[in-house]
């Protein structure tokens, strides 16, 4: 049943699971959902609570807005004083000034990236410079780090805070000031943007280990568009903890889907069934064909499925899985159309209408694929709800 984001947020709030793990394509409303959830559970202070020292947020969240708190000053004139500026905000003031997490953030950042790469905060915690140890003990100062390293640094600040939260709430005697006593949720939206696969896996394992060590009533909601991150977390949460602190039934896996009318569905997935990205794509393509709501990005989905399948089955080129001409060659029209949406955003808004003949060609390509006897066809039917059609 289609719902508004507010209703999805209410559904998340009423869940009794310690961890809710959500997969969704980019553009499906993940970040908007994190904001909606925050406003539902812990709205901004009113005039009555503005000066109340006992007012504390019930939600700690990480999303694209968190990353927007940091931006680069590239020193375009001198090209020597490159630094990452921290915009004035209560979150980083709290994490770095009040909680003193700069050393922990540095430790995590160096472990996830490079042990020779060091962030250096200024005394007011309004900017960060980065240095790299080179050969012969030489040091490169004020370097600009990559986008992936930058995302990793921002996450390291947030992760350090989560560590302290879990430790304090699991052992209340460590929380002498009671600064986390009102905290009920941690909402994490896509902390792995721009990271390579090795770091995605390491981050997921570390996060799952920390969450499973939590013995308090604190609950976590994690949303992502990254299938590897989703799968690693899912596998970690399926494993029972050695000290009985964690049980697999404490978590739930869900898929967030957005309809063309900007309504949403949050679908629970069998916790024992493996999440397969290409099967999820196949279901999306099938639904688009059934409803006639074919978009350019669905051709990108189709190519993605063909590429993964060709690799799995040992084909040299994914085009070999496309329909053939009467001469037994790959249909050039089918190949051209499959490339049609190869660089389109997963669920981006598209104004250009898709002509009926092109929509029909997607159905032909899809039907050829699912009826060609590939080894995972039955798995697709069983796990993704796809029912094949025949021409």
Query: Could you report the per-residue pLDDT of 280-313, keeping only the tens digit for each?
Result: 788 889 988 998 888 888 898 899 889 888 876 7
Q: What is the pLDDT of residues 13-32, one digit of tens each?
A: 999 999 999 998 888 899 99
- List of residues 6+ apart from 367 with CB closer than 8 A: 388, 389, 390, 391
Higher pLDDT, 276 or 383: 276
Tokens coding 380: 């697709």
Residue 146 DSSP label? P
Q: How confident is the model at residue 371 (pLDDT cuts 50, 70, 90)?
A: confident
Higher pLDDT, 170 or 130: 130
- Check whether 102 has a pLDDT greater than 80: yes
- List of residues 6+ apart from 130 with CB closer than 8 A: 84, 117, 118, 119, 120, 142, 143, 144, 145
Q: Beta-carbon neighbour count of residue 329 at 10 Å? A: 11
Mean pLDDT calculated for residue range 112-137: 89
Share of the chain above pLDDT 90, in %: 40
The whole-number pLDDT of residue 287 equals: 87
- Check whether 386 has a pLDDT greater than 70: no
The whole-number pLDDT of residue 212 equals: 94
Range in 18-22, 36-40, 103-107, 345-349 the model is least confident about: 345-349
Backbone angles phi, psi at 252, to 5 degrees: -140, 145
Find, among 264, 112, 94, the residue nearest to 197 by Cα. Answer: 112
In the 3-class helix/strand/coil scheme, how is 35-100 assigned residue by residue?
Answer: HHHHHHHCCCCCCCCCCCCCCCCCEEEECHHHHCCEEEECCCCCCCCCEEEECCCHHHHHHHHHCC
- List of residues 6+ apart from 321 with CB closer than 8 A: 306, 309, 310, 315, 369, 372, 374
Q: What is the SS3 assignment for 22?
A: strand
- Check whether 384 has a pLDDT greater than 80: no
The whole-number pLDDT of residue 47 equals: 53
Q: What is the pLDDT of residues 168-200, one digit of tens each?
A: 888 877 654 477 888 999 999 988 877 777 788
Mean pLDDT score of the chain = 83
Q: How confident is the model at residue 231 (pLDDT cuts 50, 70, 90)?
A: confident
Mean pLDDT calculated for residue range 53-71: 81
The whole-number pLDDT of residue 235 equals: 87
Find, among 84, 95, 103, 105, the residue nearest to 155 by Cα. Answer: 105
β partners of residue 257: 265
Q: What is the SS3 assignment for 264?
A: strand
The whole-number pLDDT of residue 243 equals: 62
Which domains, ranges and CATH numbers included, belong to the chain?
5-269 (3.40.50.300), 277-384 (no CATH)
């Amino acid at each position: 049943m289609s719902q508004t984001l507010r209703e999805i947020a209410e559904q998340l709030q009423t869940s009794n699971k310690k961890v809710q793990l959500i997969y969704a394509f980019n553009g499906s409303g993940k970040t908007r959902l994190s904001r909606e959830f925050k406003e539902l559970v812990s709205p901004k202070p009113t005039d009555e609570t503005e000066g109340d020292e006992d007012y504390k947020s019930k939600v700690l969240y990480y999303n694209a807005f968190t990353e927007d708190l940091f931006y680069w000053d590239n020193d375009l004139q001198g090209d020597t004083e490159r630094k990452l500026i921290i915009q004035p905000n209560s979150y980083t003031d709290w994490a770095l000034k009040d909680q003193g997490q700069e050393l922990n953030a540095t430790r995590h950042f160096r472990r996830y990236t490079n042990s020779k790469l060091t962030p250096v905060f200024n005394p007011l915690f309004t900017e960060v410079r980065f240095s790299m140890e080179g050969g012969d003990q030489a040091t490169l100062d004020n370097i600009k780090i990559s986008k992936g390293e930058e995302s990793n640094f921002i996450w390291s600040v947030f992760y350090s805070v989560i560590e302290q939260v879990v430790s304090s709430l699991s052992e209340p005697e460590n929380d002498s000031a009671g600064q986390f006593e009102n905290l009920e949720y941690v909402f994490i939206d896509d902390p792995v943007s721009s990271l390579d696969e090795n770091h995605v896996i390491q981050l997921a394992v570390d996060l799952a280990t920390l969450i499973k060590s939590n013995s308090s009533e604190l609950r976590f909601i994690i949303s992502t568009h990254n299938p590897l991150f989703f799968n690693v977390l899912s596998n970690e949460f399926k494993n029972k903890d050695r000290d009985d602190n964690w049980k697999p039934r404490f978590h739930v896996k869900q898929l967030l889907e957005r309809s063309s009318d900007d309504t949403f569905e949050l679908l629970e997935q069998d916790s024992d069934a493996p999440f397969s990205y290409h099967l999820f794509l196949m279901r999306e393509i099938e639904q688009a064909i059934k409803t006639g709501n074919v978009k350019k990005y669905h051709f990108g989905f189709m190519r993605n499925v063909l590429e993964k399948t060709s690799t799995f089955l040992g084909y040299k080129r994914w085009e070999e899985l496309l329909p053939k001409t009467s001469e037994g060659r790959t249909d050039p029209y089918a190949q051209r159309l499959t490339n049609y949406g190869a660089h389109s955003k997963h669920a981006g808004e598209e104004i250009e209408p898709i002509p009926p003949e092109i929509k029909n060609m997607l159905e032909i390509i899809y039907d050829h694929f699912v009826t060609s006897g590939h080894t995972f066809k039955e798995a697709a039917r069983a796990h993704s709800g796809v029912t094949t059609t025949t021409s």
